Structure 1
Amino acid sequence: MHGILLVDKPEGITSNDLVRIVKRCVKPSKVGHSGTLDPAATGLMVILIGAATRALDYLDESRKGYSLVALLGEETDSGDRDGTVISTSDASGLDITRIGAAVQRYLGVMDQVPPHFSAIKKDGVPMYKLARKGVFPELAPRKIEVFSLTTIEWQPPLLELELICSKGTYARALARDLGRDLGVGGRLERLRRTCSGPFHVKDAVSMDEIVQGGAKFLSTRLIGISAALDHIPELHVLPGEVARLMRGTSVSFPRSRLTLGPDTPRLLKIVSGNGRLLILVRPEPKGADIAMRPVRVFNTWEAEE
């Protein structure tokens, strides 16, 4: 079994727990996932099964969507409700106009300091392991981008927001920083991932469906690997060229044969006659030609199964 499975993760289990549950249904296939969710978070998990795990690094994760609730007036060391409270303040006096103005300042490209309770590593050690020992080293800010941030409802002390952001954005840090900007502190109360790249939670299966339906049901809900990489342009090649590329050998093409447009894509995909992904190649201009260098080859038996 090979493909992409969209799952609506329930609250209370880890991302790895979800992978193990899926793996029991599709064994002996390899199973992985894209984009970890904290145990308290719910929503979209992109699960990769079989040969699809080889496509993990090439998925479109440029934009992620979340529905989140921030609690204003309280800050914790972890940035969420599971942490130790480090400050409290009265947020009842905040009005929606002031909140809306503050929210607008979080649009665009900015620096964000990650939470200490995160998987980011410091000298090879995950930060959350250091934080559990009471060690909180200074963290360098990271560039993120918020494409949209919309206020849905303000019922003190809870602020509901809809967020579309770049990969690597921490909703916990956003709630923290927004609360500080408003002078009362803040933390994340609830988080639900609604989308990741082209995938949406409305198309996801539930945990109950996985457990009750098993492998037969899951096979009907898989997204093909090539379809999951729809953002990568397709390159049409001859059978002999496919064979050479499958062996890991670069193949040169005259520029006149290719219609790549003014900007050469970073990657191209080669698919079989029935639409199965075979190879990902990287175009490398060489004089009058463009060499196609294989960067990921999917075994024929995997791609055609």
Structure 2
Amino acid sequence: MAYILLIVGFALLIKGADYFVKGASNLATALRVSPLLVGLTIVAFGTSSPEATVSILAALDENAGVAIGNVVGSNIFNITLVVGLTALINPLRVESETIRKEIPFTLLASVALLILISDMFLQAFSTNNLSRSDGFILLLFFTIFLYYIFEVARRSRGKSDATSNSKEEIKWTRNIFITIGGLGAIIFGGDIVVRNATTIATSFGMSETLVGLTIVAVGTSLPELITSITAAVKKETDIALGNIVGSNIFNILFVLGTASVITPLAVESKLFVDVILMIILTIFLLLFSRTRFTIGKTEGTLLAAAYVIYILFIIIRN
């Protein structure tokens, strides 16, 4: 029964995120919000809403392994398999200055996370924790990122208004209902996923962190995978890569920030390897974006293969 409920939970997360993004995007269009702002915030953050829901609910249940493992595992999944498969479908051209600036911000967020959880090494504490004060620091970084995004959107607003002549009527009631209904499905599905994934982990003797890094991380990252592949098929590579990068920033700064403010999260020592790997993979993504300006099929194959190797590594480690 736990397996069936887990699948139901993932289905609710995926469809809920889909409806949430559609409804919120339509409302943003009706409010004359810049399309760039919609893409960098609503699409990226909307596809990350399952991670946010799962990690926050896990924090409320004092399940730190799932809360942190879900975010780190999702980010690694996004950088390797999502970028890899998307690049195999259609090479990702990193032409947007915004994306090239967001990737260094992702790296900054990842390094900040590593520093904040290194209590034993840096402060000689007996345990490693992501404390409430650490959470507020992450949320402060997130506020700075949002300010940057709004500034980018403001500068592009004039251009957007000049090219947009559409006066299509927006059905407010329908879109508000879709947005709220999608959010409700995400929250309900997230609760089902956390409870049943933990049950399955216990029955197999798996650690909560391993479940967060694998089952939960892959399940909550399916919206990013679907969105990016769809964008790649339509040859909208800026949207595909921007969705992934924006989602990773949201996961670290907002999701872990909020979860650790709710309750301090204990960090398993083995998780440091995963965080360091996430940083290394982000550096590779940065090098691709700043030098070659293209993530082609060769890079995509290497990234996808890296995820397979990573999964085998953490299963053997467990």
TM-score calculated relative to the size of structure 1: 0.23
Greater RCO (Cα-Cα under 8 Å, separation 6 or more):
2
